[in-house]
Chains A and B, each alone.
Chain A
Amino acid sequence: MARRATAYGRGGPFVYLVALLVVAVTLGPVLYGALGGFRTNAQLARDPAGLPDPWVFSNYTNVLSNPSFWQYTLNSTAIAVITTAVAVLAGVMAAYPLARYQFKLREPLFLVFVLGLLFPAAVAIIPLFILVTQDLGLGDTWWGVALPQAAFALPVTVVILRPFLAALPKELEEAAMLDGASRVGIFWRIAVPLSMPALVTVGVLAFVTSWNAYLLPLLLLRGETRTLPLGVADFSTQYSADTAGVLAFTTIAMIPALILFLAMQGRIVSGLQGAVKG
């Protein structure tokens, strides 16, 4: 970091004012949801912008004592973990030769992944539904959602990891080669540990994407295997009159992804740097 900060500029009153405005606009809806969960429907109707008065906890306790909510949470978690593990492992394996080997098909192969960015799940959604439920018999299962999600997460994963792996210093590989290490050994012992920041980045992206996914689970999961977003959407249509209950449910559903992101955010930024270098 620069020792003197003038080139970066400090904050004048204007900067702080803008910052404050950004915070208000960004967090407003989230806070409205969280605080609304502590109010009654009568309070919400009387004064939408008011604070809870008195604070009621029943909306939140109702959600937390609802066994369906915990079932949805478990399903969301399991599917996101499987998706992330598969996408990161397959992704880093594919990105490695694309970054460090010289071979004729390298660029066409990379293009396959880049083109994969263009295959929205939606294009394939109905055949995917038929494939997973009828051909693979994985309807209403965690794996049935996680595997296609991992496949759709691969393009982004490879595109982010490749420049990161390419930027690792050659000398380490050379030294390891001289010590008689195999390419596969170098991959596991040097490339993977050194690209940890980027792996965390793509892992968090895959996890959050899976956690938030809606369209694929909507078609593939029913009843007890549904995930949180499906639960939230159902709840809000089923109990549309119970605004406070809906707000409490959505607020609780937000928390896990937010915690994960907050815990990882520094690493995400540093992991992305490799991908956005000029």
Chain B
Amino acid sequence: MTEVTAAPAATSSGAAVTRGGADAPRVTGRRQGAKRRQRLEILLFVTPALALMALFVLYPVFSAARMSLYNWKGFGPMVDFAGLDNYTRVLRDEVFTDAVIHNFIIVFASIAVQLPLGLALALLLNRRIRGRGLLRTIVFVPYVLAEVIAGVVWFQLLQPRTGLLEQAVSSVGLPVPDQGFLGTPDLALATVFVVLTWKYLGLAVLLFLAGLQGVPDELHEAAQLDGASWWQVQRRIAVPLLAPTIRTWVFLSMIGSLQLFDMVWILTGGGPANATTTMVTYLISMGTQRSNYGIAGAASVVLFLIGFVMALAYQFLVLRRDTKADA
């Protein structure tokens, strides 16, 4: 993903390498001064961001971890230490383990469906067709909408019997589930996934298009002079050059799928019969609706660990080559 500018090999002593600029003064005293000043500058630049992250991201996450070790109802001091009880309860709770499974279904379905679809659309929209700009805009529209807003509209479309989609499906002679698509346990999660794909495909297309614009024209022209067909150019040049973008998108998609909440909350509330619960809907209903903060905390930690392990594994297996400095 990143293109780190080839850095001058840092000397083993870790001497501050002021890149370019006035040549490093030879007087050690001044060099020390420059080093100290550089540290100060770095500190000045990163402090606001780190302070925000510390207060609003790291501290609450650690609080969630602490909360998970107590039986706590959300008021008064946290004194009723529970050890790992909350964790055993969460992991034994079938509603939660099902929620984890639902999250993973969404993770893999997103990659299996949205990646080929997004890639195909991006390559198509990269062709010189009339109205290309307009098309690109339209494809991105769902992504810009709030999940809540898109969810409310889809909820209307999916209404049993009266909704437009049900009527459309039955008008072409296909069977319609009695309880509606969102009300039938076996279909609800798949229906939610369809809506999610409608909403998020535009992001994949936009990222891939941005990546494709980075493919130098000379390559296209050279390939053309060699008599390559459009299809060959895509397969041999465009897609390989898109690989880092694709890896980035897969990463974002995985993390996003693990954190799914809004759309499910609006479309099904996690139902019917817990068929569409996710880890986040579970911890929200445990925490805010049942004031079971210990359980919610334990579920939060499990969610975090799953995301963390997945991201580390992905970073280690896939993204490593992208973040290495170009030698």
Question: Within the complex, what minimum Cβ distance (angstroms) separates A114 from chain B?
Answer: 8
B156 and A246 form a contact (CB under 8 A): yes
A1 to B, closest residue via Cβ = B217
CB neighbors of B among A214-269 (8 A): 214-215, 219, 228-230, 232-233, 236, 243, 246-247, 250, 253-254, 257-258, 261-262, 265, 268-269
User: CB of B317 within 8 A of chain A?
Assistant: no
Chain A residues within an 8 Å CB radius of B61: 119, 123-124, 127
B147 and A212 form a contact (CB under 8 A): yes
A94 and B49 form a contact (CB under 8 A): yes
- The verdict on A127 contacting B56 (CB below 8 Å), with A163-B2, A258-B144 known, is no
- The verdict on A236 contacting B152 (CB below 8 Å), with A27-B138, A93-B49 known, is yes
Give the CA-CA distance A15 to B233 in the complex, in Å.
Answer: 17
Query: Per-residue 0/1 for B200-225: is the Cβ within 8 Å of any A Cβ (1 yes, 0 no)?
Result: 00100011011101100100110110
Chain B residues within an 8 Å CB radius of A140: none
B234 to A, closest residue via Cβ = A9
Chain B residues within an 8 Å CB radius of A162: 2
Number of interface residues of B (CB under 8 A): 122
User: CB of A109 within 8 A of chain B?
Assistant: yes
Give the CA-CA distance A82 to B238 in the complex, in Å.
Answer: 39
- The verdict on A103 contacting B149 (CB below 8 Å), with A89-B48, A124-B63, A151-B52 known, is no
B3 and A166 form a contact (CB under 8 A): yes
Give the CA-CA distance A21 to B115 in the complex, in Å.
Answer: 18
User: CB of B124 within 8 A of chain A?
Assistant: yes
Stretch in contact with the other chain, from A51-59, A66-74, A171-179? A171-179
Chain A residues within an 8 Å CB radius of B322: 278
Where chain B touches its partner, the secondary structure class is helix
Give the CA-CA distance A110 to B255 in the complex, in Å.
Answer: 18
User: CB of A48 within 8 A of chain B?
Assistant: yes
A93 and B210 form a contact (CB under 8 A): no
Where chain A touches its partner, the secondary structure class is helix
Number of interface residues of A (CB under 8 A): 117
B321 to A, closest residue via Cβ = A278
B66 to A, closest residue via Cβ = A127
B210 and A184 form a contact (CB under 8 A): no
CB neighbors of A among B34-70 (8 A): 38-39, 41-42, 44-46, 48-50, 52-53, 55-61, 63-64, 67
Question: Within the complex, what minimum Cβ distance (angstroms) separates A103 from chain B?
Answer: 6
B22 to A, closest residue via Cβ = A177
Query: Per-residue 0/1 for A18-61: is the Cβ within 8 Å of any B Cβ (1 yes, 0 no)?
Result: 11001101110110110010000000110011000000000000
Give the CA-CA distance A246 to B163 in the complex, in Å.
Answer: 14
Chain A residues within an 8 Å CB radius of B279: 122
Question: Within the complex, what minimum Cβ distance (angstroms) separates A4 from chain B?
Answer: 7
A120 and B127 form a contact (CB under 8 A): no
- The verdict on A15 contacting B156 (CB below 8 Å), with A22-B139, A93-B49, A94-B45 known, is no
Give the CA-CA distance A167 to B7 in the complex, in Å.
Answer: 12
Give the CA-CA distance A254 to B153 in the complex, in Å.
Answer: 11
Query: Per-residue 0/1 for A81-94: is the Cβ within 8 Å of any B Cβ (1 yes, 0 no)?
Result: 00000100111011
Partner of A275, one of B1, B124, B162: B1
User: CB of B129 within 8 A of chain A?
Assistant: yes
User: CB of A193 within 8 A of chain B?
Assistant: no
Partner of B52, one of A120, A150, A219, A270: A150
Query: Per-residue 0/1 for B254-274: is the Cβ within 8 Å of any A Cβ (1 yes, 0 no)?
Result: 010011011001100000000
Partner of A163, one of B1, B124, B157, B266: B1
User: CB of B20 within 8 A of chain A?
Assistant: yes
User: CB of A190 within 8 A of chain B?
Assistant: no
User: CB of B82 within 8 A of chain A?
Assistant: no
CB neighbors of A among B123-175 (8 A): 124-131, 135-142, 144-150, 152-157, 162-164, 167-168
B126 and A8 form a contact (CB under 8 A): yes
A272 and B207 form a contact (CB under 8 A): yes
B41 and A212 form a contact (CB under 8 A): no
A34 to B, closest residue via Cβ = B153
Besides the known contacts A2-B221, A124-B57, A212-B146, 14 further A-B residue pairs in the complex with CB atoms under 8 A apart: A29-B198, A48-B162, A93-B48, A94-B50, A102-B19, A116-B57, A127-B60, A151-B56, A178-B21, A183-B38, A236-B155, A265-B137, A269-B213, A276-B211
Interface pairs (19), CB distance under 8 Å: A2-B221, A6-B224, A26-B142, A30-B153, A32-B156, A32-B164, A48-B163, A93-B46, A102-B10, A102-B17, A103-B39, A109-B46, A118-B255, A122-B284, A123-B300, A124-B57, A126-B297, A154-B52, A212-B149
Please give the residue numbers on chain A whose beta carbons come within 8 Å of chain B beta carbons, in ascending order. Answer: 1-11, 15-16, 18-19, 22-23, 25-27, 29-30, 32-33, 36, 44-45, 48-49, 86, 89-91, 93-94, 96-98, 100-104, 109, 112-128, 130-131, 147-148, 150-152, 154, 158-159, 162-163, 166-167, 170-171, 173-174, 177-178, 183-184, 187, 208, 211-215, 219, 228-230, 232-233, 236, 243, 246-247, 250, 253-254, 257-258, 261-262, 265, 268-270, 272-273, 275-278
